[in-house]
């Protein structure tokens, strides 16, 4: 009698801790939609083993002996009880024979429904990427714009554009290989940080120009040191982040490549990314305050003063355009999703378009260079009217540098 009772209790416990399967045999989980799909009948059904509206798909997890699911994130032992997850194979609708299906776990999520789909922000990012690369092409192709600041603008636009491009891939494309997914996350982290370090490098250039406001700097030697700083620091921080993320231990990990390609939560994103951005933003603010005081107190040659003030204001607008949107992005991480923050996010994803407008059509020097090369022959009258209104603050300094040989400009 006692043996039967103990056996029945044991079997009951075994049944209770056995992980549930999301779909019936022969069916698989469709990626992104998180529904069960039978490739033979081509019929989809809701996952009935989980009673929750929102689900997260995990590729890296462990199952404990008591049936709970363990996320290998940190020493906090973040676990999910048996009722809140199920197991299955995930694939795409093109995989009719389920040859490319990958083992996965679906976990109930308490997140609220998004006001706007990721695809919308993804398409806005594509617009930004196109205009950032256009800006980089214009500045790289025209010798009049390839001074130290112009080269820095090229690197800034390329860094921000590549970061946004990889972010688009993460938002719009499905993924099954979490190692490749983690690589995308680290590359996005690197390029976004690099764009911030380039804004800091450009600010430092304006600050140093006050000490020697003589001629426009075309030398590659000075650019090399700025590039070493603006790309070297993000590379070092990315390597440190990867070590923290993958090396075993009791430390808190960023969780890149755990559930998706980005940080596990906003707390980790603040700790490893937003903190660095905040330091650079504060540093830029201090540089701008000091530079503005120096520019409006000191006396240089009139032409150089006007050019310095113009470059300073252009750099300040670039900082405001990029810095303020990211400040709002940081604040939004503390707030619940609302229509206001959605508008801010959309504006943030379109900052590439704003940067293009500021650095190309709204900068007379860039318009003159394109007009000189014949790029704007299709709209000659409009360009001439645009250039006839007002004065070019950079013109006097440019005139003093037209006699400088290209060998000197290239630092040879």
On whether both 234 and 285 belong to a single domain, the answer is: yes
Tell me: the pLDDT tens digits for 168-209? 988 887 666 677 888 999 999 999 999 999 999 998 988 887
Query: Is 1 contained in some domain?
Result: no
How far is C-alpha 295 from the geometric centre of its chain's CA atoms? 34
13 phi and psi angles, rounded to 5 deg: -65, -40
Write out the two tokens for 395: 């013109």
Which residue range(s) make up the domain with 296? 118-409
Q: 162-171, 374-383, 391-400: which range is least confident on average? A: 391-400
Domain end (from 80, 109, 138): 109
Q: Of 71, 86, 109, which residue constitutes the final position of a domain?
A: 109
* 347-352: Cβ within 8 A, 24+ apart: 349/121, 349/124, 349/125, 349/128, 349/164, 350/124, 350/127, 350/128, 351/128, 351/321, 351/322, 351/325, 352/127, 352/128, 352/129, 352/130, 352/131, 352/132, 352/135, 352/157, 352/160, 352/161, 352/164
- Domain contains 3: no
Query: pLDDT per residue over 12-33, tens digit each?
Result: 444 446 778 888 888 888 876 7
56, 159: one domain = no
**Does 161 lie in the same domain as 96?**
no
Q: Taking the alpha carbons of 206, 208, 214, 216 in that order, is the dihedral positive or negative?
A: negative
The pLDDT-based confidence of 9 (bands split at 50, 70, 90) is: very low
Q: Quote the pTM value.
A: 0.74
Check if the beta carbon of residue 263 is closer than 8 Å to that of residue 273.
yes
If asked whether residues 279 and 145 sit together in one domain, one would say yes
Count CB-CB contacts under 10 A for residue 306: 18
Q: Quick: pLDDT tens for 210-269.
A: 766 555 556 778 899 999 999 999 999 999 999 998 887 777 778 887 767 888 778 888
- As for how many domains the chain has, the answer is 2
Find the DSSP H helices in 91-147. 118-141
| Co-location of 125 and 104 in the same domain | no
C-beta contacts of 89-95 below 8 A and 24+ residues apart: 89/28, 89/29, 90/28, 90/29, 90/30, 90/31, 90/57, 90/176, 91/28, 91/29, 91/30, 91/31, 91/37, 92/30, 92/31, 92/174, 93/30, 93/37, 95/28, 95/39
């Amino acid at each position: 009698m006692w043996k039967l009772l103990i056996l029945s209790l044991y079997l009951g416990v075994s049944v209770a801790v056995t992980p549930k399967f999301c779909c019936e045999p022969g069916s698989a989980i469709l990626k992104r939609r998180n529904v069960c799909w039978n490739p033979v009948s081509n019929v989809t059904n809701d996952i009935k083993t989980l009673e929750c509206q929102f689900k997260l798909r995990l590729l890296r997890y462990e199952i404990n002996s008591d049936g709970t699911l363990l996320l290998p994130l940190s020493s906090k032992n973040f676990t999910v009880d048996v009722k809140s997850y199920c197991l299955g194979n995930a694939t795409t609708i093109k995989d009719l024979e389920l040859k490319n299906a990958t083992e996965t776990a679906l976990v109930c999520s308490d997140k609220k429904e998004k006001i706007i789909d990721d695809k919308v922000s993804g398409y806005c990012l594509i617009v930004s990427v196109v205009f950032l690369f256009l800006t980089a092409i214009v500045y790289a192709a025209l010798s009049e714009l390839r001074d130290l600041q112009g080269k820095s603008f090229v690197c800034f636009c390329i860094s921000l554009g590549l970061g946004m491009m990889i972010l688009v891939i993460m938002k719009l494309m499905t993924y099954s290989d979490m190692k490749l997914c983690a690589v995308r996350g680290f590359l996005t982290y690197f390029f976004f940080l690099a764009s911030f370090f380039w804004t800091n490098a450009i600010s430092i250039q304006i600050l140093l120009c006050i000490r020697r406001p003589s001629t426009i700097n075309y030398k590659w030697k000075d650019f090399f040191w700025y590039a070493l700083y603006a790309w070297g620091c993000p590379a070092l921080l990315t390597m440190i982040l990867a070590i923290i993320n993958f090396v075993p231990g009791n430390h808190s990990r960023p969780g890149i490549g755990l559930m998706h390609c980005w940080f596990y939560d906003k707390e980790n994103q603040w700790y490893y990314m937003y903190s660095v951005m905040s330091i650079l933003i504060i540093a830029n603010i201090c540089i701008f305050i000091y530079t503005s005081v120096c520019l409006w107190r000191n006396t240089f040659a009139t032409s150089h003063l006007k050019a310095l003030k113009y470059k300073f204001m252009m750099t300040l607008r670039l900082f405001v355009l990029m810095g303020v949107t990211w400040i709002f992005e940081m604040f939004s991480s503390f707030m619940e999703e609302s229509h206001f923050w959605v508008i801010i996010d959309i504006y943030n994803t379109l900052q590439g378009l704003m940067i293009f407008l500021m650095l190309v059509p709204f900068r007379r020097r860039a318009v003159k260079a394109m007009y000189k090369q014949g790029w704007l022959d299709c709209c000659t009258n409009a360009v001439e009217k645009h250039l006839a209104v007002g004065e070019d603050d950079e013109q006097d300094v440019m005139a003093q540098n037209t006699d400088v040989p290209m060998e000197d400009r290239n630092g040879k």
